[in-house]
Amino acid sequence: MNALQVSDLSFAYGAREALRQVGFALPAGQFAALLGPNGAGKSTLIALLTRLYDVQRGEIRVGGHCLQASPRAALRQLGVVFQQSTLDLDLSVEQNLRYHAALHGLSRRQGGSRIDAELARQGLAERRHERVRNLNGGHRRRVEIARALLHEPRLLLLDEPSVGLDPGSRQALGLHVRQLCSEQGISVLWTTHLLDEVQPGDALLILHQGRLVASGRADAVSQAHGGDLGSAFTRLTTSGVCS
Ligand code: ADP
Ligand code: MG
């Protein structure tokens, strides 16, 4: 069963169309990069997947559960790290996680053991009692990932997680998240506008003016549309899209 299935999804802010008939599937354990220039509709898609906005047209299924018909079951399978960080810099790593464990209905003891497990998985066990303010950008993102995984979802959404990170931290974060997929079977949808965050073996979705203009393995997409990813991306995202 697919971790995520999006079918014929369209969305408009008033008269402004932001997504047009978007459809794709994300199998379990797959890392997928959703690549698109600013304004392509990436955050709108994340907002629909997390039910910040109601679906206007089309369907979203998370772990087989229809988001519109069974929102609780669908959202339970899903963890999200939004584009803007929502950590409290003056709280410790653990304190930032504690509140969310309680929100998910975990007892203090269950919460404690989930926090142990996630911090260990993110390589942050030693930083547990430090204030988030003392962590570098990459490690702050990992705290957010630990928080998003506290309730053990099968699908993790990351909206432009590398913005503001230095190149070394960006690369380390990308490696780390791909490992979560290959070793733990979590599926990841990673949005970005940066070509160098896509690796040849990644599943790639290219969004342009709200429309999915290419999907497939990144190396195959590159080959089909210009040879290298840069030319393919330019070719696919410079033309206008007819509605
Ligand atoms: P991305 O995340 O790829 O940069 P967005 O999903 O934020 O793209 O935006 C897609 C389109 O929708 C853009 O044209 C943007 O201006 C528009 N948009 C986004 N949010 C709103 C909003 N709250 N109201 C009106 N238009 C919006
Ligand atoms: Mg965005």
pLDDT tens digits, one per residue of 129-161: 999 999 999 999 999 999 999 999 999 999 999
- The structure tokens 């653990």 sit at 94
The binding-site residues of ligand 1, defined as CB within 6 angstroms of any ligand atom, are 13, 16, 18, 36, 38-44
User: Which mutation among 9, 11, 16, 194 tests ligand 1's pocket best, with the greatest number of atoms within 8 A of CB?
Assistant: 16
Closest CA to 31 of 240, 227, 185, 159: 185
**185 by DSSP, 3-state: which?**
coil
**Band (242; pLDDT cuts 50, 70, 90):** very low
* Mean pLDDT calculated for residue range 195-220: 96
Contacts of 28 (CB under 8 A, 6+ apart): 1, 2, 3, 154, 185, 187
Instruction: Note if the pTM is more than 0.75.
Output: yes
- pLDDT at site 107: 94
Helix (H, G, I), strand (E, B) or coil at 184: helix
Structure tokens at 114: 């989930």
Query: CB atoms < 10 A from the CB of 25, how many?
Result: 16
Nearest ligand for residue 47 CA: 1
CA distance linking residue 63 with residue 26, whole number of Å: 10
CA of 177 to the centre of ligand 2 (A): 19
Domains of the chain (ranges; CATH) run: 1-77+154-243 (3.40.50.300), 87-152 (no CATH)
- In the chain, which ranges are continuous DSSP H helix? 42-49, 71-76, 93-103, 108-121, 137-148, 167-184, 218-224, 229-238
* Distance between CA atoms of residues 33 and 18, nearest Å: 19
pLDDT at 169: 86
The overall average pLDDT reported for the chain is: 94
| 47 Cα: distance to centroid of ligand 2 (angstroms) | 10
